[in-house]
A and B are shown apart, each in its own frame.
Chain A
Amino acid sequence: DVKVTQSSRYLVKRTGEKVFLECVQDMDHENMFWYRQDPGLGLRLIYFSYDVKMKEKGDIPEGYSVSREKKERFSLILESASTNQTSMYLCASRSGQAYNEQFFGPGTRLTVL
């Protein structure tokens, strides 16, 4: 089974802190994604990566950056956390085959105080 893991289930940070969210997948998938999930807004794409060291902006990249130094790991970085970044963050991965779905991690619920 594909496994996508995220470094924390719950995280509490202070405004202005630098925050790292880590995601690791074990199926050698080329593509990895970061979403935020908010009630009534569904999932919104922050960034995605289709290869090591490659990244593409999604719909809401402002305030975020990403890093993909190894194929299995995709990190989301909040350079200076703000209260409006309090949310559930979901990581996903998928292979390059067109038919294939995304596999999701368990999510990180981030609270910024």
Chain B
Amino acid sequence: AQTVTQSQPEMSVQEAETVTLSCTYDTSESDYYLFWYKQPPSRQMILVIRQEAYKQQNATENRFSVNFQKAAKSFSLKISDSQLGDAAMYFCAYRSIGNQFYFGTGTSLTVIP
């Protein structure tokens, strides 16, 4: 089974600053999808951004962007101009060709006003 590792259980960032959340994964597959999900306190998990492994270009969604390094099996999330509403648990996820999703253990992000 694939494994997804988030090595930062907790992170903090000053409002308006930039923060990067790390994610690495282990796989023998050549084609797959990677996702970052956000789970605000007591609220539903929502998609932040996705990346297809066969695309070399890094995905961006407004203030959110990824640094996808396929050879290194690394998929970090960069949040620019951090806002109070960005405070949440962030999960990195890997989708295999077998339709299963594998999630990391999460990074709790605190935004300091």
Contacts and interface: CB of A to CB of B under 8 A. Distances in A.
Interface stretch (B68-76, B77-85, B102-110): B102-110
A45 B9 contact: no
A50 B47 CA distance: 21
Contacts of A107: 44
Contacts of B45: 90, 104
B99 interface: yes
Contacts, number: 43
A48 B99 contact: yes
Interface residues of A, number: 23
The bracket for how many chain B residues form the interface is 20 to 34
A33 B101 contact: yes
Given A41-B105, A42-B105, A42-B106, A101 B47 contact: yes
A106 interface: yes
A106 B105 contact: no
B99 A40 contact: no
Interface of B: 1, 4, 6, 9, 33, 35, 37, 43-47, 50, 52, 91, 99-106
